[in-house]
Chains A and B, each alone.
Chain A
Amino acid sequence: MTAGHAGRHSAERAFDGVRATVHGGDHVVGRYPGALILIRRDSTTGSDRIPELLDICLTATSAAPRAPGRQLARRLTGWLSQAEDAPGFGTVAATEDGLAIFLYGEVTVEVPAEDLRLSGRTAAFSVDRLIDWPEGVLSLRADSSAPGSADLPEWFRFQLGVVTGSGATLHIDDASQVASAAGAPTAPPTDQGKARPPASPPQAEPLTGPQREEPEPDEEPETAIGGLAAAPPPPDPEVQGLEPAATPPPPAVFDQIHGVAPDEPQRPPLAVAFTAAPAATDRPGAPPTGFFPTPVPQEEGTVVLGFRCSREHLNDPRVSFCATCGIRMDQRTGVLVRGRRPPLGLIVLDTGSTFVLDDDYLLGRDPDHDGDVLAGRLRPLRLDDNSGTLSRAHVEIRLQEWDVTLVDRGSANGTYVAAPQQQAWVAVVPHQAFALTAGSQVGLGRRTFTFESPHGRL
Chain B
Amino acid sequence: MTTQNIPMPGSMDPMEQDFRPTPVPGDLTPYLIDTHIWTDEMLHQAGIPIYDTPFVTVGGGIGSFVTVDYLRICGVPASSLTVLTNLDVPWSSYEYLTRVSQIPRRERLRSDSASTPDNIWGFPSYAVREAFSAKSVKDFFSPLWNVLTEPILADYYTPKAGHAFESMEREYHRIGYAQCVRKGQVRMVRRRYGGGYFTILTPPAGAAPTRRIAYRSQFVHVAVGYPGLKLLPDLQRYRETHRDPSKVVNAYEPHEHVYEQLSRRPGTVMIRGGGIVASRVLQRLIDDRDRLGLQTRVLHVFRTYVTGSHGPSIFMRRKGGDGWAYQGFNYPKSVWGGQLKAKVRKLEGAERAEEYKLMGGTNTPVRKSWQEQLKRGRAQGWYQTLIGEIAELVPGPAQTVVAHVKAAQGYIQAQADFVIDCTGLEADIREHRLLADLLDHSGAGRNPSGRLDVERTFELRGTRSEPGRLYASGSATLGGYFPGVDTFLGLQIAAQEIADDLAALGFCARLGVGRSTKQWWLWARHRPI
- CB < 8 Å: which of B88, B261, B398, B409 contacts A458? B88
B398, A454: Cβ atoms under 8 Å? Answer: no
B260, A450: Cβ atoms under 8 Å? Answer: yes
B404 at the interface (CB under 8 A from A): yes
Please judge, given known A-B contacts A321-B253, A333-B202, A354-B257, whether A326 and B245 are in contact too, CB under 8 Å: no
* Chain B residue at minimal CB-CB distance from A273: B404
Please judge, given known A-B contacts A290-B399, A352-B261, A354-B246, whether A274 and B392 are in contact too, CB under 8 Å: yes
Interface residues of B in 479-501 (CB under 8 A from A): none
Residues on A with beta carbons closer than 8 Å to the beta carbon of B15: 310, 332
Please judge, given known A-B contacts A310-B431, A342-B245, A454-B245, whether A354 and B399 are in contact too, CB under 8 Å: yes
B413, A4: Cβ atoms under 8 Å? Answer: yes
Which of B187, B256, B413, B414 is packed against the most chain A CB atoms within 10 Å? B413
B253 to chain A, nearest CB (A): 6
Residues on B with beta carbons closer than 8 Å to the beta carbon of A5: 386, 407, 409, 412, 414
A327, B228: Cβ atoms under 8 Å? Answer: yes
A259, B410: Cβ atoms under 8 Å? Answer: yes
A326, B250: Cβ atoms under 8 Å? Answer: yes
Residues on B with beta carbons closer than 8 Å to the beta carbon of A62: 397-398
* Chain A residue at minimal CB-CB distance from B237: A274
Q: Which of A41-49, A343-351, A389-397 lies at the binding interface? A: A343-351
Interface residues of A in 59-99 (CB under 8 A from B): 61-66
Interface residues of A in 345-372 (CB under 8 A from B): 345-346, 348-352, 354, 356, 358
B455 at the interface (CB under 8 A from A): no
B245, A322: Cβ atoms under 8 Å? Answer: no
Query: What sequence of 0s and 1s flags, for each residue 444-458 of chain A, a beta carbon within 8 Å of any chain B beta carbon?
Result: 000000101111101
- CB < 8 Å: which of A310, A330, A356, A453 contacts B254? A453
B261 to chain A, nearest CB (A): 5
Please judge, given known A-B contacts A1-B384, A324-B240, A354-B246, whether A452 and B257 are in contact too, CB under 8 Å: yes
Interface of B is mostly: mixed
Residues on B with beta carbons closer than 8 Å to the beta carbon of A281: 242, 395
Residues on B with beta carbons closer than 8 Å to the beta carbon of A455: 254
Residues on B with beta carbons closer than 8 Å to the beta carbon of A320: 93, 96
B136 at the interface (CB under 8 A from A): no
A378 at the interface (CB under 8 A from B): no
A80 to chain B, nearest CB (A): 24
Complex Cα spacing A321 to B431, Å: 13
Residues on A with beta carbons closer than 8 Å to the beta carbon of B396: 65, 277, 289
Residues on A with beta carbons closer than 8 Å to the beta carbon of B231: 324-326
Complex Cα spacing A289 to B88, Å: 43
Query: What sequence of 0s and 1s flags, for each residue 362-393 of chain B, a beta carbon within 8 Å of any chain A beta carbon?
Result: 00000000000000000000001010000110
B residues in contact (CB < 8 Å) with A: 15, 18, 86-88, 92-93, 96, 100, 185, 187, 202, 205, 226-231, 236, 239-246, 249-250, 252-257, 260-261, 264-265, 268, 297, 299, 384, 386, 391-392, 394-399, 402, 404, 407-416, 426, 431-433
What are 7 A-B residue pairs whose CB atoms fall within 8 Å in the complex? A3-B384, A326-B228, A332-B433, A346-B245, A450-B257, A452-B254, A452-B256
**New A-B contacts (5) at CB < 8 Å, excluding given A64-B397, A328-B226, A352-B265:** A324-B236, A327-B431, A334-B185, A334-B205, A452-B256
